[in-house]
Structure 1
């Protein structure tokens, strides 16, 4: 029996290439969570977004990896909104999306090279990194203290992760983490993973790698929420919250994500954007 409509799209492409392959399933709410897990494993992508369109004005999206459900997935939001725009036949849509009880404002616009999507991430909480037991995570990343360019910080748009600045692009590309050890350390301290990055001399762009073996994703090709976290961190420390981040080069899947952070009465908020290549037409799964 055919499953619900499904597509694999490339989220957060760079110059029309690469991006993170992301499965998007139109979920009619008849699937069980076990079936969603099985579907996520079967797609072969790092993340699968399941869209419940029973409330079309504010569709609900859930995200699964091969090992479990996530409360949020930034490039999953971007992929889901691109698919919804495609299904509607419209050229532009401004709407809302429900993810784990949080409402995200979204914009999707057809462009020549795909669908450009932006979403409001919400408040990003920032804190200093304070691992009382020493350098376990740094060592698990395959780094030494001399490789760290500035203070490591904890950033959370709902789920905390570490922002780890390294001294240069070469250091970033040469990283070879111990994924088993890193998963243990992240679970012990309650972190989603580690977003390692190297800023350009102008600090307007950065190269980054996201390691999250604790949730079953050793290295993410594109991690939109962490880019929003980086924009918030830069606004907090330098006063400038605009950044474009390149990921995926080590996997030969170049990706690009942009983010803009601003101060509000509730705290620092970020807006995140990327372009989606829809690929072949959506077909039953």
Structure 2
């Protein structure tokens, strides 16, 4: 029997609280996929990251939910590099991680703030307000007042981005069975629902739902935050800064803060960055059967 240490980390914290928990396993080269899935299930967080060596880049990182592997996870990336930095495995600087979403740069500064470069966006199909109403439990009439369409956007993982009127975010009531089937049919991770703010320190407040992957709701989602930043860059255009601050997790009592920025020119988006801070809460030992 082998014992594996799993670091327990809150990612995208705001003023030291809130955030989204992730597990992090270092030196994971010897673990197979079945081992990783078992560890992720024992930890029970939305994602656990596994760090392995790589011959060409700094690290290979794989991500597992309680149901299986996903190509990328933003908050678990933040958790991973926070652990590496706080435990002295890396210093301030620029790094590259190999993921199933590609080789992605990550930077860490002296304050422990982690910024990750995500894959360039792909914009998928849009959906009608009537379809969205049935998924999120908001009447169609309210959704019709929105300027921007519900659309699939991916910066590594495809999410359905849905705007609701200000004051409606806390009223969202997901039909999990419908969203699971919808996600399967359209090859989505889940739905990222947001309301825009005016003149506050946050650009938008968000909620993320991925029941297909065993996540009823998540308090901070890095991948979807990158997708939302690209979505807002596309639809707000010159009306808005290309730097965004998102809050998430309010309805869960775990208010989180996520920073995102988009660099674009006449040829489209050239770079997407998402960042924040994380707190290492401790660790847990998980036993693997021989």
TM (normalized to structure 1)? Answer: 0.90
Does the CA contact (< 8 Å) of 1:2 and 1:284 recur in 2?
no
Residues 1:272 and 2:271 are matched in the alignment:
no
1:103 positional shift:
1.1
Distance between the aligned counterparts of 2:89 and 2:71, measured in 1? 29
Runs of 4+ in structure 1 deviating by more than 6 angstroms, as ranges, are: none
1:284 CA drift (Å): 4.8
**Matched-pair contact (CA < 8 Å) for 1:123–1:266:** no
Contact preservation (8 Å) 1:4, 1:26: no
2:187 matched residue in structure 1: 190
The residue number in structure 1 matching 2:107 is 107
**Runs of 5+ in structure 2 lacking a partner?**
none
Query: Is residue 226 from structure 1 mapped to residue 224 from structure 2 by the alignment?
Result: yes
Residue 263 of structure 1 is matched in structure 2 by 264
1:51-130 paired onto structure 2 within 5 Å: 51-53=51-53, 55=55, 57-88=57-88, 91-100=91-100, 102-111=102-111, 115-130=112-127
Instruction: Say if 1:136 and 1:33 are closer, same or farther in 2 by CA, change over 3 A.
Output: same
Shift of 1:136: 3.6
What TM-score do you get using the length of structure 2 for normalisation? 0.88
- Cα-to-partner distance string for 1:211-254 (whole Å, 9 max, x where unaligned): 11112211111111111111111211222322111111111111
1:276–1:266 CA distance, 2 compared to 1 (3 A): farther
Instruction: Report how many residues are paired.
Output: 278
More displaced 10-residue stretch of structure 1: 140-149 or 44-53: 140-149
Per-residue deviation at 1:267? 3.5
The DSSP-based 3-state class of the residue aligned with 2:192 is strand
1:100 and 1:77 map into 2 onto residues whose CA distance is: 13
Unaligned runs of 5+ in 1: none
The 8 Å contact of residues 9 and 79 in structure 1, kept in 2 or not, is answered as yes
Q: What RMSD over aligned residues (CA atoms) do the two structures have, in Å?
A: 2.2
Judge which range, 28-37 or 72-81, deviates more.
28-37
